[in-house]
Amino acid sequence: MKDILEGIEAGILVFAPLSVSYSDLHPFWGGSQLTIQGGEIDQEDLLKLLRLLLHHQAWIQLVPERTIVPDESRPLLTTCYQDRQTSIWERHTDLSKNQRIVQIHDLMQQIARRTAIEAAESVDS
């Protein structure tokens, strides 16, 4: 995935096939899901997201596997480009400490909000 993200950043590859998804759905408590699609978002916002993915090496799973304890959830971040896909996760209790997936998710939320506001403003015009 690193080579793809670097290729997009360098302008060799296009943004359109890129998608980044976050999910923290818990079977009992719910949660949230958010997907940013490369062809639907401002290119400047996509570059910010892409650089954050590169900075955090969002294709490398850092948290070791262990049995899930009761009521524990694992937020999942999935990056796709055409037929290539990579996913990483962290325990929900470690999100604030690690500042990895949480930073990416926060930026994704900002991008989604800004895009929704811009879309609403263009409808009102």
pLDDT at 27: 66
Q: pLDDT at residue 120 above 90?
A: no
Around Cβ 113, how many Cβ atoms within 10 Å?
10
pLDDT digits (tens, 9 = 90+) for 84-103: 999 999 988 888 899 999 99
User: pTM of the full predicted structure?
Assistant: 0.90
pLDDT tier at 29 (50, 70, 90 boundaries)? confident
pLDDT digits (tens, 9 = 90+) for 31-56: 889 999 998 889 999 999 999 999 99
Encoding tokens for residue 117?
Answer: 């506001």
